[in-house]
Amino acid sequence: MSDQNNGTITRKDLMPFILSLAIVAADQVSKALVVRFIEPYRLTRDAIPVIGNFVSFIRTQNLGVAFSIGQSWPPVARRILFIVIPLAVVIFASIYLVRDKDLSRLQRWALAGIVGGGLGNLVDRIARADGVVDFIMVNMYGFLGQNYFPIFNIADSSVTVCGILLIVSMIFYRSPDSISGETADPNRQDLTGE
């Protein structure tokens, strides 16, 4: 309990960063393999089927962010919006993950997954002149009027899945301190009238 209040960073606080590192490694290795072995696509039919025609690999490179937003913006605007701001968010999330002792285990690991995904795409934005490598294409079979979901990568998947887990856990999780604090609050009125 003493570590919880004095700001000491423990090994347990740093464990989720193993997930962050694993995501960055998987993301960068997969992108390197895609760049090495898959030519940039010209047509959707150039895709390499992985799971029938449901999931395919097809190489694209994106100077923008999700759904190619900002791809045509000036380079200075892209650097600020797609490197500086995401880097600040990753740093903030990392500090929050280590310092906030009220996060549940799921929240800590979900934050670490978001950090890993964010770093994976940041590496591309900094190191690849052609932008972020995307390669996973999912057939939507016309659902919502779309033939294919926008092409993505492992880092994008990590940010999305872990973001959803984080939001859901924030809705349903209450820290032990908030639960015990409710019963210990002397100003709280008992609804039973006692």
- Residues marked as catalytic: 134, 156
Q: What is the DSSP string of 125-154?
A: HHH-TT-EEEEEEEB-TTGGG-SBPPPB-H
- For the chain, report the end-to-end CA distance as a whole number of angstroms: 33
Q: How many residues does the chain have?
A: 194
**Sheet with 48-51: strands ordered across:** 48-51, 55-62, 132-138
* Backbone φ, ψ for residue 53 (5° rounding): -105, 15
20/32 Cα distance (integer angstroms): 18
Nearest to 120 by CA among 16, 53, 27, 52: 27
Three-state SS for 102?
coil
